[in-house]
Structure 1
Amino acid sequence: MATDTKLINDNFLLESKYAQELYHSYAAHMPVIDYHNHLSPKALAENTVFDSITAAWIDGDHYKWRAMRTLGIDEKYITGDASSKEKFSKWAHTVPYTMRNPLYHWTHMELSRYFGIDDLLSDKNADAVFENASEKLRTPEYSSRELISKMNVEVLCTTEDPIDTLEYHQQLSKSTFGTKVSTAFRPDKAILIASDAYNSYLDSLEKVSNSTISTYDQLCSALRNRIEYFHENGCRLCDHGLAHLYAENFTENEIKGIFKKRREGQTISEVENAKFQSALMLYLSETYHEFGWVQQFHLGALRNNNKRMLSVLGPDTGWDSIGDYPQAQSLSKFLDTLDGKDKLTKTILYNLNPSDNAMMATMIGNFNDGSVRGKVQWGSGWWFLDQKDGMTEQINTLSNMGLISCFIGMLTDSRSFLSFPRHEYFRRILCNLFGEDIRNGELPNDMEWIGKIVQNICYNNAKEYFDF
C-alpha cells in the first residue's frame, strides 16, 4: 500500500498490490486516444501559448464555474471582468470546499501532472501557484500542442458543426504535430427544427454548402454535401447531443410539409417535431453507414434551465442538468429500423441519467450482431457521471451485463487543454476494480491475461474500433 503522504501519489486510488501492478505495469504507459472532446482546433493549429493558468484552466470550464457559484462567488470572478489573477484566487479559495467532488481530484492531478505542483491548492498558496504555473504556460514548452504531447495523446477528435470550414484541421494535417487531430461531425442545429434560430442556421448552411435549402430534399442534399466535405478532410465520426432519440412513424410527404411549414416561419407542433427529427436522424445515420463512420449519441441532458443566465452568458456556461426522459423504446426502435435495413454503423451510446445504466448496458447487446467486435458500445461515464462513482457503476454494470473486455474506454469530453489526466483517473479506477476482484479471489491472479484486457480497454480496443 502507498506510504507517500502526497494526495496524488504513485498509488493514488490503487488499493491493492494487484491494482498497483496492473496500473504501473500495464495501463500507465499506454497512449491516449481521446475520441470525443471540445478542444479548440484553432488553438492547436496556432499552437497557442496561454498568458496565464486562468486562460488555460478556468476560462470556459463550466464545471469549475458551477462550483464557484454554489459557494456564493460573484459572477464577476467567474465569467466577468475580474483580472486573471483575481479569478484564479477565487478558484483557489473554492478548491478546499470541493472535497468529494471530482473537481478536487482533477484539480490536484492536473497541477501535479503538468506543473509538478503537489501541494493542495487553497488561499494560502494561490499567489505562488498562479505565478509558478502561469510562468511555465507563457513558454513554448507549455503551448497547446506541448500540453497534449506531455500526456502521450496519439489521437484526438474535436467536435465541429457542419458549417465549419475545417481550415484549422487542414492546417494541422500539414503540420509536424505528432498527435493526429481529427474532427467529429455534429449537425444537431439542423435537426432541432423547433429552435427559434432554426431558419437563420439553415441560411448559414446554404452559404457553406453553396446551395438553396427551401425543401426537405435540399436540406438532406446540403447535409450530405457537408458529410462528403468532412470525410475528404479526414472525419470518420459524428456526434449528437440530444435529449433523446425519436422514432416516430412518418411519411415522406409529412416530413416535406413539416419542413416547408417551418421554413416559412410557422410554428410546428410537438408531434411534427418528433416526426421530423425521426426522419432526419434516420437519413443521417444511413449516410454515416454509407461512409463507414462511427456514430455517437449523447442522450439525456436537460439544457439551458436558467433562462435569465442563458440570455446573459449563452449556452454551455453551466446551466444544464440531468433530464429524466424515457429512452428505451424509442432508442430500440431507432436502432432496429437501421439494423433492419442493414444500415446500422458502429454506434456509441452515452447516458446522462444513471437510472438508464442497466438499460444501456443491455440495449447494446441487442445489436451486436457478430459482424464487428463491440459494434454497438455503451460509452464511458459522461458529464455528471464522469467521476469515481459514475465510472465505477458504468464499468460494473457493463461487466455484469455485457463484455467489459470489448469496451473502448475513456474520453475527456472537455474544452480544457489540461483535462487529459482524466484518462489516468479512469485507468486507476479500472485497475483498482480488477485488482479488488483478484484480491477477493473472484478473478485468477493471471496478470498477463488481465493486464492485456486492461491495455485493450485503455487503448487497443479504441485503436481497432476507430481504425485510425
Structure 2
Amino acid sequence: MKNFITEDFLLTNDFAKTLYHNYAKDLPIIDYHCHLSPQDIAANRPFENITKVWLEGDHYKWRAMRTLGISEKYITGNGSDQEKFEQWAYAVPYTLRNPLYHWTHLELKRYFGVDKLLTPDTATEIYKAANEQLANSSYHTRGLLTSMKVEVVCTTDDPADSLAYHQKIKNDKFKTTILPTFRPDKSFAVENTTAYIAYLEKLSVASGVTINSFDSLLAALKNRVDFFHAQGCKLSDHGLEQLYYPENKHAYNAEGLFARILKKETLDKHEVHFFKYSVLIELGRMYHAKGWTQQYHLGALRNTNERMLRELGPDTGFDSIGDFSQSVALSKFLNELDSTNQLAKTILYNLNPADNEVMGTMIGNFNDGSTKGKIQFGSAWWFLDQKDGMEKQINTLSNLGLLSCFIGMLTDSRSFLSYPRHEYFRRILCNLIGKDVTAGELPHDEKWLGKIVSDICYHNAKAYFNF
C-alpha cells in the first residue's frame, strides 16, 4: 500500500496548499531548542542501523510499545537492534490517531524515501533499505542536519559542561551553526542535598570558584554565563513544575538556607521554593545583561513511576502533564525582573492545555515595545506537539496575542530524525490560515498571508535571536 503522506498531507483547501508550497515548504530550519548530542555532531557519528538513530532514546515510542504489552527487552533492554525495530513495526499500525503514526511515516519518507506503511509485513524490507542508506556518509549526523536545511541548532547544556564539542564543531566550520544553551536546573535542585553538594563540586571545578556560600554560587554561575556567552550562547532554558515567588520574601534568607544545605539538612517545601526563586531571579538578571532569551518549560510532572526510575533512570517515558498553579507566581516573578527593567526576552512553554489562556494573556503583560514579540507563548510542547495541541496553541495565541509575532516551531528532540516535525507544524499552520480564508474570515491576500507564514516559520526566529 502506498504511503498516505502525499504532497498535500494535512492541507485541506487550495489556499492552504498555496501557502505551504510557495511560502513555507522550502524555508531553512532554526531549531532553537533541542536535546541533540553535541558529541554526536562533533564526531559526525555514523549509525549502524535505523534502530540506533530512530529508537534509541525515544521515550515517545517507548511509551507506546509498553502500552501494547511489548517486553522491556525490546525497548531499552538487551534485545537485538533488529528485534527492537521489528517490535516497533508491530506497534506502528496500532498507533493510529497518535502523532507517532504521522511522524513515523513522515520520517521514513523524508529521510529514506520509504513510501510504504510500516507494518510487520514491511519491517524486514524497510529495515534493510534504511540500513543500506545509513552506511553512506551523507547519513552521518551532520549530513542528516544538512539534508533538512537546518541552519541553526541550539543544544541543551549544563553550566559545568566544558563545551569542548561545540568548540570542535565551530573549528570544523560545519555549515549548520551549533550553539549551546545554558540549562542550570541542577544549580538549584536542592531537594536532594547529597546529589546537590556533589553537583556543586563539579560546578566549582568548571568555574574555578570555591562554592561555600550563596554569593559564591552566584559568582560561579556568573562565570559560566560569561563562558557560555563567549561560545556564542544566546539562550537559557529551565525545566520547572512552575515558577516560584515567595509570599513573604523576608521570612527566609538564601545565605542561611545555603549554609544548611552544606550541612546536608533537608529543607521543607517552602524553603526549597524560596531557594529556587532566589537563584532563578539572579540568573534572570544575568541573562538580561547578556541580551539572552530565557526559556521556561513549565508544567511537567516527572518521574512518576519510582520503580521504573530505579531501573531505567529519568527521561525514559514515565512523566506526564502536571496541574500546578501557574499564574500568580509567574506574574510576580516576571514583574520583579521587569520592575528594574531587567526582564530578558522570554519564552513560556506550557504543558497543561488548561493553562493555554493563562499563558496567552500573560505574555501581553510584559511586552514593552522594545522588541517585537518580546515575551513569547512558546510552541506546543512535549505531549502537546501534535496536531490538536498545535492548533490549540496557535488559536489561543491568535485570539489573545499576535500570531504574526510568533517565533514558530522547534524539535525539543533527542533524535536526528525529528526535523519533519517542522514540516508538520508548517502544514498545520498553513491549513488553519487557509481554512479562515476559505470561510471568508481572512482576506484572500496571498502575498500578505504568505509573508506572515514565512515569518512564523523562519524569519521571526532569525530576527528574534539575532542568528
Q: Place the TM-score, normalised by the shorter chain, in its bin.
A: over 0.9
1:375 is aligned to 374
> Scaled by the length of structure 2, what TM-score is found?
0.98
**In the alignment, does 2:244 pair up with 1:246?**
yes
Partner of 1:423: 422
The answer to whether 1:334 aligns with 2:333 is yes
Secondary structure at 1:154's aligned position in 2? strand
Match of 1:97 in 2: 94
Hey, what's the Cα distance between the residues in 1 that align with 2:326 and 2:251?
25
2:20 counterpart residue number: 23
Q: Is the 8 A contact 1:157 1:184 kept in 2?
A: yes
**How far apart are 1:326 and its partner, in Å?**
0.1
- Aligned ranges 1:346-425 → 2 under 5 Å: 346-425=345-424
Shift of residue 349 of structure 1?
0.2
Q: Distance in 2 between matches of 1:429 and 1:275?
A: 41
Stretches of structure 2 that go unaligned for 5 or more consecutive residues are none
Q: Counterparts of 1:46-57 in structure 2 under 5 Å?
A: 46-57=43-54
Superposed displacement of residue 253, structure 1: 7.1
Q: For 2:2 and 2:52, locate their aligned partners in 1 and report how far apart those are by CA, in whole Å.
A: 31
Task: Give % identity.
Answer: 57
Asked if residue 317 in structure 1 is aligned to residue 316 in structure 2, the reply is: yes
1:271 Cα deviation (Å)?
1.3
Matched, 1:215 2:213: yes
Give 1:277 deviation, angstroms.
1.0
218, 232, 235: which one aligns with 1:234:
232
SS class of match (1:297): strand
**Could you tell me how far apart the structure 2 residues matched to 1:255 and 1:245 are?**
17
Q: 2:152 aligns with which of 141, 152, 155?
A: 155
Structure 1 residue 263: Cα displacement: 1.2
Aligned-residue offset at 1:103 = 0.2
**For residues 104-253 of structure 1, what are the structure 2 equivalents within 5 Å?**
104-196=101-193, 197-248=195-246, 249-251=248-250
What's the counterpart of residue 271 of structure 1?
270
Which residue identity is paired with 1:154? Answer: E
Deviation at 1:269, TM superposition (A): 1.1
The answer to whether the 8 A contact 2:252-2:271 is kept is: no
Task: Return the alpha-carbon distance in structure 1 between the equivalents of residues 466 and 51 of structure 2.
Answer: 36
1:251 is displaced (CA, Å) by: 4.5
Q: Deviations over 1:104-143 (max 9, x none)?
A: 0000000000000010001001111111101111220111
Compute the displacement of 1:204 (Å): 1.2
1:5 to partner: Cα distance = 6.1
Q: Secondary structure at the match of 1:239?
A: strand
Name the SS of the counterpart of 1:51 in structure 2: coil
One-letter code of the match for 2:108? L
**Corresponding letter in the other structure for 2:308:** M
Gaps of 5+ in 1: none
2:289 counterpart residue number: 290
Tell me the residue number matched to 2:84. Answer: 87
Q: State the secondary structure of the residue aligned to 2:181.
A: strand
Q: How big is the shift at 1:82?
A: 0.6
Quote the residue 2:431 is aligned against.
432
Distance in 2 between residues matched to 1:5 and 1:349, nearest whole Å? 40
CA offsets 1:142-162 (integer angstroms, 9 cap, x no match) = 110010111111101000001
Match of 1:76 in 2: 73
Partners of 2:205 and 2:271 lie apart in 1 by 27
- Cα distance in 2 for partners of 1:266, 1:5 equals 62
How big is the shift at 1:176?
Answer: 3.1
Displacement over 4 Å in runs of 4+:
none
Deviation for aligned residue 1:6:
3.5
For the 8 Å contact 1:365–1:402, the answer to whether it is kept is: yes
Contact 2:2 2:116 in 1 (8 A): no
Give, in whole Å, the separation in 1 of the partners of 2:45 and 2:302: 30
2:122 match: secondary structure: helix
User: In 2, are the aligned partners of 1:250 and 1:279 still within 8 Å (CA)?
Assistant: no
1:42–1:168 CA contact under 8 A, matched in 2:
yes
Aligned residue pair count: 465
- 1:354 is matched by which residue type in structure 2? P
* 8 Å contact kept, 2:3–2:105: no
Structure 2: which amino acid aligns with 1:171? K
Distance 1:111 1:211 in 2: 48
